[in-house]
Amino acid sequence: MESVVWQGLALSGIFSWIVIACYFHVTNKLRSLLQPWASHHVVRGTSTILKIQKHQHRVLDALFSGLSCVVSVPFYTAFLPLLFWSGHGKLARQMTLLMAFCDYLGNCIKDVVSAPRPNCPPVRRITATKDEEDNALEYGLPSSHTLNTVCLSGFLVYYVLSYIQSEDACVKLGAVTLACLFVGLIGFGRIYLGMHSLIDIIGGLVIGLVILAIWLTVHEYVDAFIVSAQNVTSFWAALSFLLLFAYPTPEFPTPSFEYHTAFDGVAFGIVAGVQQTYQQFHHEAVPRIFTSQLTIPAFLGRMVVGIPTILMVKFCSKALAKWILPVVSNTLGIPIKSTSYIPMLNGSTTEKKSSEIKQSSYIHKMLFFSNQDLFDVDTGIRFLQYAGLAWSVVDLVPSLFSHLRL
């Protein structure tokens, strides 16, 4: 009963914040205070970036571009399923939720402040991958790469030290030192690549440390709630829905909301799947890699079976969502548009409003519905697509492993 009460209070609190933020235009007021300050520091930091880029070299270009890929959201999205299948389910689900928390909060701050990235030119910006090109379309403060690296590397160090139960001070100091050096390399690399100013890196570092401290305090409670509490799936569905509407409206549209929607879906799929199958596939006694119960060949077999399966589920989830959501919307009389997924819903009328509607006031649409509002159905499609993918990682694929004795 207590769990149900605090769930209701949490959802009511978020809903109340959405209403208050919309009514008092909190985002615009915060932006008017923070954006000039951040922009000033970005301009001042240009000289520092140019000094660093005087030492440019092809080796450094490749090194820092590679490091940026290693700590990117797509990399973690690909890495986390392998962590689940390796038997370290607790670490995997906690890192998934931490990643979702970092992604949401970091992108919210970016779009509230709407601070520019360093001007290019004079700064040389290196975007070696399509993912980096998309990242360059986002606002700068804070650096997501720095923020994510601080949180995930910090939590990984904490987990490993707890898992091996080492009391050796040298081991602890060495692990923390390596994590700090890695964070430093990532932050320096983002400046070298021309993707961020020094203020963005400092902001990512500070916010990351705050999030990490909070997560280390609450992660055991969150995990216990997911695996053993009541109404977990329904609560998380409502939470995910409210977070979509709570997302702030940026000064100009960016891909940040799309990234959040995808990882919001991943978090929901993981929570729903783990909550249903914890006793079968995710308890602490499951076989773990590098043991006689889960050998390297067996783990490779899991990869061969699991990766094609989750990709197929992702494709099918997207196809089903593209078919179901327009039907449901039309049934409920909700006018919709699609910016990319459904061409026939991207007509001249909606194209004219696309830049305005794609990330316009979501709370306005939810609370003050009018016939002129068009809902971008791509948001729902993207959410369900990634929720289906994540569910398959922790539910469908482990079931296949069980049947195949992998």
End-to-end CA distance of the chain: 39
Measured CA to CA, the distance from residue 32 to residue 36 in angstroms comes to 7
Q: Are 321 and 358 spatial neighbours (Cβ–Cβ below 8 Å)?
A: no
Rg (CA), the chain: 22
CA 95 to CA 157: how far, in whole Å?
Answer: 12
Nearest to 87, CA basis, from 279, 340, 286:
286
Residue 166: count other Cβ atoms within 10 Å of its Cβ. Answer: 13
25 is catalytic: no
- Quote the CA–CA distance of 99 and 88 in Å, as a whole number: 16
- Residue 321, judged by CB atoms within 10 A of its CB (0-12, 13-18, 19+), counts as buried
Q: What are the respective helix, strand and coil percentages of the chain, to the nearest 5?
A: 75, 0, 20
Buried b (16+ CB within 10 A) or exposed e, 18-39: beebbeeeebeeebeebbeebb
Q: Which of 88, 196, 219, 260 is catalytic?
A: 196
Structure tokens at 206: 């500070």
Residues 346 and 357: their CA atoms lie apart, in Å, by 12
SS3 376: strand
* Cβ neighbours, 10 Å, residue 84: 25
The angle at the Cα of 269, spanning 73 to 152, to the nearest 5 degrees, equals: 35
**How far apart (Å, rounded) are the C-alpha atoms in residues 24 and 384?**
32
Residue where the block lists tokens 């969150």: 222
Task: Pick the catalytic residue from 25, 41, 55, 145.
Answer: 145
- Residues 103 and 73 sit within 8 Å (Cβ to Cβ): yes
Q: Which of 338, 343, 320 shows the shortest CA–CA distance to 374?
A: 338
CB atoms within 10 A of CB 90: 19
Q: Is 145 a catalytic residue?
A: yes
CA atoms within 13 A on the CB side of 323: 6
Q: Which amino acid is at 351?
A: E
Catalytic positions, please?
145, 196
